[in-house]
Amino acid sequence: MQIIDNLEALHDWVGREVAHSDWMTIDQQCIQKFADATGDHQWIHLDAERARRESPYKAPIAHGYLILSLLPAIFASCVRIDGVGMTINYGLDRVRLPAPVLAGQRVRGRLSLDRLHAVVGGVQAHWNCTVDVEHGDKPVCVAQMLARYYPASAAQAAEEVA
């Protein structure tokens, strides 16, 4: 876990890799739960026998959006920024899913801080997030996560106004 003391200290990480998560297994049960939650029940994700016969991957693969949805958990597992009262998910930029994740494979995320800029009351961070598959030759997800951070004092002031 990389602990960053405060928002000012975050500036020291611009242009650098900050942390990487532990490996996590994407098993068939995880893929099934995601399919059920999203309604995406394509055979390429759920039908192991058909995937062996017809898929170029010869096994079920995780949904690309499943891998993308892991980014907040990956981030929380390996980076903590102290002194933040509120974090807002501001979206994603430049998302790519260059390789599949086969059921049963393990993935982990790497985070680097691309840039920061001031927003009213806080700072917006552009995090480069790369998700790798164990023993893979290219990443399975590359995205830029945008997060807005507000210091504890600003978050408390916003609560008092509301």
Report residue 128: phi and psi, to 5°. Answer: -85, 120
What tokens were used for 80?
Answer: 């903590």
Q: How much is the pTM? A: 0.88
Give the per-residue pLDDT at 153: 76
Alpha helices per DSSP H over 11-114 = 28-38, 43-46, 48-54, 64-69, 71-78
* Number of helical (H) and strand (E) elements in the chain, helices listed first: 7, 8
Give the per-residue pLDDT at 161: 44
What tokens were used for 147?
Answer: 């997060």
- Give whole-number Cα distances, 160 to 81, 155, 157, in Å: 23, 9, 5
Strands 105-119 and 24-26: antiparallel
Contact 151, 88 (CB under 8 A): no
Report the C-alpha gap between 125 and 117 in whole angstroms: 7
Question: Side-chain half-sphere of 29: how many Cα atoms within 13 Å?
Answer: 1
Give the per-residue pLDDT at 25: 98
Give the per-residue pLDDT at 159: 52
Enumerate residue ranges in the chain where pLDDT < 50.
Answer: 155, 157-158, 160-162
Domains of the chain (ranges, CATH numbers): 2-161 (3.10.129.10)
Report the C-alpha gap between 59 and 48 in whole angstroms: 6
